[in-house]
Amino acid sequence: MTVDALAHSPPVVDAQKETPHEGRGAQGKTLNQHPSTQGNRSRVMDDPFGKEPDAIYPSANFAPISPDEMTRARLTPRVIVPDLLYADVRIRNAAGGTGKTTMALFEAATVAMGRQLWGRDTGDTRRTVIITREDSREILAARLREVMRGMGLSDGDIAHVLNMVRIIDVSGERFRLSTVIDDVVEPHQANIDWLTAQLESLKPDWLIFDPLVSFGVGEGRVNDAEQGLIEAFRIFRNRLDCCVEGIHHTGKANARDKTLDQYSGRGGSALADGARMVVVMQPLEAGEWDKATGSSLMEGESGMVMALPKLSYAKKQDEVYIARNGYRFEMVRANRRTPEQAVKDAAERVHGFLEHEYRQGRRYCNRDIENMTEKIGMPRQKIREALIELKSAGRAIYHEVKGKPGSHWQPVTLAEGDGVTWGK
Stated pTM of the model: 0.71
CATH, residue 153: 3.40.50.300
Q: Longest C-alpha distance within the chain, in Å?
A: 102
Is there a single domain that holds both residue 266 and residue 395? no
Measure the CA–CA gap between 386 and 372, rounded to whole angstroms: 13
Q: Does residue 268 surpass a pLDDT of 80? A: yes
Is there a single domain that holds both residue 127 and residue 271? yes
User: Last residue of a domain, which of 332, 365, 399?
Assistant: 332
- How many independent structural domains does the chain possess? 2
Is there a single domain that holds both residue 411 and residue 366? yes
Is there a single domain that holds both residue 104 and residue 252? yes
Is there a single domain that holds both residue 215 and residue 357? no
Given a contact cutoff of 8 angstroms between Cβ atoms, the answer to whether 208 and 217 are in contact is no
Q: What's the average model confidence in pLDDT over 40-61? A: 55
Is there a single domain that holds both residue 98 and residue 158? yes
- 3 state DSSP class of 100: helix
Q: What's the average model confidence in pLDDT over 222-242? A: 97
Measure the CA–CA gap between 202 and 204, rounded to whole angstroms: 6
Is there a single domain that holds both residue 214 and residue 262? yes
- 3 state DSSP class of 5: helix
Is there a single domain that holds both residue 356 and residue 244? no
Is there a single domain that holds both residue 135 and residue 267? yes
Query: Which residues, in sequence order, are CB contacts of 221 under 8 Å at separation 6+?
Result: 185
User: Last residue of a domain, which of 315, 332, 349?
Assistant: 332
Is there a single domain that holds both residue 348 and residue 314? no
Structural domain includes residue 217: yes
Is there a single domain that holds both residue 328 and residue 343? no
pLDDT digits (tens, 9 = 90+) for 196-221: 999 999 999 999 999 999 999 988 88
pLDDT digits (tens, 9 = 90+) for 279-325: 999 999 988 898 888 888 888 999 999 999 999 999 999 999 999 99
Structural domain includes residue 64: no
User: Last residue of a domain, which of 272, 300, 332?
Assistant: 332
pLDDT reported for residue 54: 63
Q: Which domain holds residue 257?
A: 77-332
